[in-house]
Amino acid sequence: MMQIRPILAALRHHKAGTLLIALQIALTLAIVCNALFIIHQRLTHLSQPTGIDEDSLLIVQNQWAGRPAPAEVPSLLAADLDTLRKIPGVTNAYPSNTFPLSNGGIAYGIGHSPDKLKFTSDTAIYFTDENTLPTLGLKLVAGRNFRADEIGEAAGLDKIAPAVIIITHELADRLFPDGSAVGKMAYISNQPSIIIGVVERLQTPYVDSAMAQWSACSTLVPFRHLVDSTAYVVRVQPGQMADVASHVRAALYAANRMRVISAKDGVQTFAQVRATAYASDRGMAILMGAISVVLLAITAAGIVGLTSFWVGQRRKQIGVRRALGATQHDILSYFLTENLLIGFAGVVIGGVLALGLNLWLMNQFEVERLEPGYVIAGVIALLLLGQGAVLAPALRASHVPPVEATRSV
């Protein structure tokens, strides 16, 4: 490290170039840190488990034509469930208003009093029956499932005041942090509901970041929704998914023609539901990744370009040093150290810039606070990138023969 002083002296003659490289490293660090952080956030978001057996589930979205009266709907639903269960490969099914990641549904406040302003948590409401738990593959951690005789009916926009409900573990913890929720009462309407069961996990239909605070707070209510649109959640035997998916639409139409099942997205495997729900997160992660790669490549190329120029410019000086006894290794380490010094200056400025950019993004776009680990990782990555980029020109410099000292330019 005794070389630092002459390096600094030499850099003083290349102020502009030094500054430009440092600035480029700083900006790259600032942008890449934030981009990586965004990627991490998006990947965390889209890899959240729903708590259901996604691989075995198929969603069929049905709308009755001609808007049947609420009184007609139960028999229509029963007939459809019968049709669905007869399809080879289908093991179970239930009708609901919505399903996880659908981005639509009903949300209520749930709490310890009927006063809606004092609710404990938001919660998504799933219309379910006794087949819901086995169909979704939900794990009951306490209490019991609904019984068939507990399943009621609710017309569209009817008040939902169930006598019994099943809630998720997360919601149970929020409502009753001190102990078991089973057998206790909670309010989602102005009448109390008794919690009869707690399931391990069931994500809400919403993937929007505004509702992320309660993404694991779901409530199952024992109702058939007597409206013209229904989502059938169908459980399929392993290996039969493609088969069932291609037959289910035709089977339902054959049983009753007066319905709409969209050819585009009326029948979706849960894998498709997931892909659609998180399309923007995945896209953003890919975009940020691509931009980071281009940035790093350009910065590396810039370092190679400028260092090559410096090496070319200093061939004579290098020759003189070699002639005076400097080894190839000395020359190599000279350029590596020079790059490291510039790199340090760059990452110090860049670290500050990264945090500043993050603060500004937090202000403008509700981005979360950058974790310091990202800045540290970025600093190490950029310093290594710099050393890697400078290696080729530095090696070339170390091969300058001492005889160069005697040649004029």
Residues that bind other proteins (CB under 8 A): 16-17, 20-21, 23-24, 27-28, 30-31, 34-35, 38, 63-67, 116-117, 155-159, 189-190, 227-229, 253, 257-260, 262, 279-280, 282-284, 286-288, 291, 294-295, 298-299, 301-302, 305-306, 309-310, 312-313, 361, 364-367, 409
As a whole number of angstroms, the distance between CA 122 and CA 200 comes to 18
| CB 295, min distance to other proteins, A | 6
Do 89 and 244 contact (CB within 8 A), yes or no?
yes
Closest CB 237 distance from other proteins, rounded Å: 28
> How near is the Cβ of 6 to other proteins at its closest, in Å?
21
* CA 248 distance to own-chain centroid: 31
- Least distance in Å: CB of 40 to other proteins? 14
Q: Which of 175, 177, 178, 213 is nearest to 194 (CA)?
A: 175
Between CA 70 and CA 75 the distance in angstroms is: 10
Comparing CB distances to other proteins, the nearer of 13 and 85 is: 13
Q: Is residue 258 classed as helix, strand or coil in its secondary structure?
A: coil
| Min separation Cβ 373 and other proteins, Å | 20
Q: How far is the CB of 145 from other proteins (least distance, A)?
A: 27
For residue 272, give every residue at least 6 positions away whose Cβ sits within 8 Å of its Cβ, in sequence order, or none: 265
Query: For residue 132, what are its two tokens?
Result: 């819901």
Output 134 or 302, the one with its CB closest to other proteins. 302
C-alpha angle 393/394/397, rounded to 5°? 90
Question: CB-wise, 103 or 387, nearer to other proteins?
Answer: 103
Comparing CB distances to other proteins, the nearer of 136 and 375 is 375
Give min distance, CB of 256 to other proteins, in A: 11
Nearer to other proteins, 189 or 240 (CB): 189
Distance, in Å, from the CA atom of 279 to the CA atom of 30, rounded to the nearest integer, reads 26
Backbone angle region of 325, left / alpha / beta, with phi > 0 → left and psi within -120 to 50 → alpha: left
Q: Pull the structure tokens for residue 255.
A: 């049983």
Query: 253 or 344, CB closer to other proteins?
Result: 253
Nearest residue (CB) to other proteins, 48 versus 313? 313
Show the tokens assigned to 45. 């978001």
Report the residue number, 36 or 138, with the smaller CB distance to other proteins. 36
Burial of 406 (0-12, 13-18, 19+ CB in 10 A): exposed
Among residues 5 and 264, whose Cβ is nearest to other proteins? 264
Least gap, CB of 344 to other proteins (angstroms): 18
**Distance between CA atoms of 268 and 290, rounded to whole angstroms?**
30
Handedness of CA 26, 30, 36, 39 (dihedral sign): negative
Please report how close the Cβ of residue 53 comes to other proteins at its closest, in angstroms: 27
Least distance to other proteins, CB of residue 235, Å: 25
| CB-CB contact of 145 with 197 (8 Å) | yes
223-226/259-260 β-pairing? unpaired
Least distance (Å) between residue 329 CB and other proteins: 26
Residues in contact with 378: Cβ distance below 8 Å, sequence separation at least 6, in sequence order: 29, 32, 33, 36, 347, 350, 354
Residue closer to other proteins (CB basis): 17 or 137: 17
Per DSSP, helices labelled H in 279-369 are: 279-313, 315-323, 328-365
Contact 30, 292 (CB under 8 A): no
Of 14 and 169, CB closest to other proteins: 14
Strands 223-226 and 152-155: parallel
